[in-house]
Amino acid sequence: MEVSIVGAGLVGCLLACYLARRGHRVTLYERRPDPRERGPDRGRSINLAISRRGIDALSRIGLDGKVLHAALPMAGRMMHGMDGALTFQPYSADRSQAINSIGRADLNRELLEAASAQPGVEVRFGCRLTGLDERTGRLRFASGEEAEAGVVIGADGAYSAVRARLQQLPGVSFSQEYLDYGYKELSIPPQDGRFALDPGALHIWPRGRSMMIALPNQDRSFTCTLFWPHDTLAALDTPQRIRAYFAEHYRDAFGLMPDLVPDFRGNPVGHLVTMRCSPWHAGGGDAVVGLVGDAAHAIVPFYGQGANCGFEDCVELDRCLDEAGDDFPRALELFERRKADTDVIARLALDNFVEMRDKVGSRVFLAGKRLEHALERVLPGYVSRYELISFSTTPYSQVERRVARQRRLAVAAGAALVALGFAARRGRGLVRTPEAD
Ligand code: FAD
């Protein structure tokens, strides 16, 4: 089958590999020039965390080893208090699990190489989609060029041009929800050739309404990302205000950021948006059009799952093609079942913002996490929500059901323990009962 994928980002490239493996001929259309011939965009999410779901999807086409080789494992969160005090919170009870910090540009390059190397895949750069007819599969590009394919998949990100066409059709629902927050990237360079912070952790400076995080890079620098309300970002409009604010709120990091002022003033502010669309496919007649990755379900980055979820889309679409005998209209219909999962991770990602910017700094929260890890050690089968999301491939929608079941079991086990303790003390005559009185 002739398939056109719009967008040679992370998900588009991986999907091209999956479809080529099934014997389909794939053309990837990308609006940008070839990223292998130029550097990454300044201040645009330089690294990201890849966890189990992403690794599983990569492993199915033999790319996991290469990608993980270029990654830095982070086994937990390192919280930075206002006074510079550090608290480490492991992601898993036995500290064996880690999420992996990977350069976005390196990952994209790796995936592009893999896609280009597949027989039957062609990648066309400088092709910005501007028009699409979902009934014929006719594509129009900004250059004036046109193309046609029986199957068109939109993997063109949160502001998808393919989805924009579907949104015009009757019966297609769409919503976008912006947070009143922006993100901005800063940098902590190496100190005397070494990492300035522990590279084995994801660093968080929780500050109530806002936060900063930092992920390590292969060159021993850290990329920091501020997640701040727009009014705070706008208020720091002079070098003096920027320095004074960081010296007060991010005291330990301030001394590690020699380029703070030019980075803060020069780097763009990114937006944080959740996009929902339903259905993800349309067409009929001569062609069918579908959506994957951020084009179908852009989410905020606070669970580190956007790319992981998009990679998992490729696995699920592959499974649907298996079930449908490679009949794309039928497979895209089956693929709609994935929405139950993407809706859950969209909600959890929003909830996790409050946890990261505010709760992780509190003693009660940390005690709760320690209790959760203790439960994992004593109750067989008990796994925290974070671990189920990040270190398993349990469908997102089943994670919520399992967490609710586990909580009920933990409460029942706790009540049984209390009752047993009471009975034992009573047996030893340590508890006075009405009969004894
Ligand atoms: P994109 O990566 O956006 O790729 C879309 C591609 O389509 C691009 O190459 C674009 O140039 C191209 N394109 C767009 N329009 C057109 C057009 N009209 N014609 C042709 N081509 C077009 N996810 C994680 O899993 N872990 C993380 O730690 C993480 N951290 C993040 C941090 C931040 C600050 C942000 C903003 C996101 C983060 N994400 C993370 C989410 C992740 O970046 C996205 O989910 C992921 O990039 C989606 O991949 P995609 O291929 O669907 O879209």
Tens digits of residue pLDDT in 239-292: 999 999 999 999 999 999 999 999 999 999 999 999 999 999 998 789 999 999
Spatial contact of 29 and 15, defined as CB atoms under 8 Å apart: no
**Sheet architecture: strand order including 99-103:** 47-50, 99-103, 72-74
Phi-psi region at 288: left, alpha or beta (left = phi > 0; alpha = psi -120 to 50): beta
Q: State whether the Cα torsion 431-432-435-436 is positive or negative.
A: positive
| Cβ–ligand 1 contact at 306 (below 6 Å) | yes
Average pLDDT over residues 317-341: 97
Atom of ligand 1 nearest to the CA of 10: 51
pLDDT of residue 432: 57
Task: Give residue 325's identity as a one-letter amino acid code.
Answer: G
pLDDT of residue 436: 43
Residue 437: pLDDT band with limits 50, 70, 90? very low
Residues above pLDDT 70, as percent of the chain: 93
Q: Whose CA is nearest to atom 53 of ligand 1?
A: 157
Q: How far is the CA of 132 from the centre of ligand 1 (A)?
A: 21
CATH 3.30.70 residue ranges for the chain: 178-271
Q: How far is the CA of 43 from the centre of ligand 1 (A)?
A: 14
pLDDT of residue 143: 94
Residue 42, pLDDT above cutoff 80: no
| Cβ–ligand 1 contact at 274 (below 6 Å) | no
Task: Give residue 308's identity as a one-letter amino acid code.
Answer: N
Check: complex ipTM more than 0.95: yes
| Cβ–ligand 1 contact at 43 (below 6 Å) | no
End-to-end, the C-alpha distance of the chain in Å comes to 85
pLDDT of residue 35: 85
pLDDT of residue 382: 84
pLDDT of residue 358: 76
CATH 3.50.50.60 residue ranges for the chain: 2-72+103-177+273-353
pLDDT of residue 367: 79
Distance of CA 172 to the CA centre of its chain: 25
Residues above pLDDT 90, as percent of the chain: 77
pLDDT digits (tens, 9 = 90+) for 401-424: 998 888 887 777 666 766 777 677
Q: Confirm or reject CATH 3.20.20.60 for domain 2-72+103-177+273-353, answering yes or no.
A: no
| Cβ–ligand 1 contact at 32 (below 6 Å) | yes
Residue 41: pLDDT band with limits 50, 70, 90? low
**Sheet architecture: strand order including 121-124:** 121-124, 25-29, 2-6, 151-154, 287-291, 281-284
Average pLDDT over residues 136-163: 97
Average pLDDT over residues 314-327: 98
At 272 the three-state DSSP class reads: strand
3-state helix, strand, coil in the chain (%, to 5): 45, 25, 30
Q: How far is the CA of 6 from the centre of ligand 1 (A)?
A: 13
pLDDT of residue 411: 75
Q: How far is the CA of 9 from the centre of ligand 1 (A)?
A: 6
Q: CATH number of the domain at 178-271, please?
A: 3.30.70
Q: How far is the CA of 370 from the centre of ligand 1 (A)?
A: 34
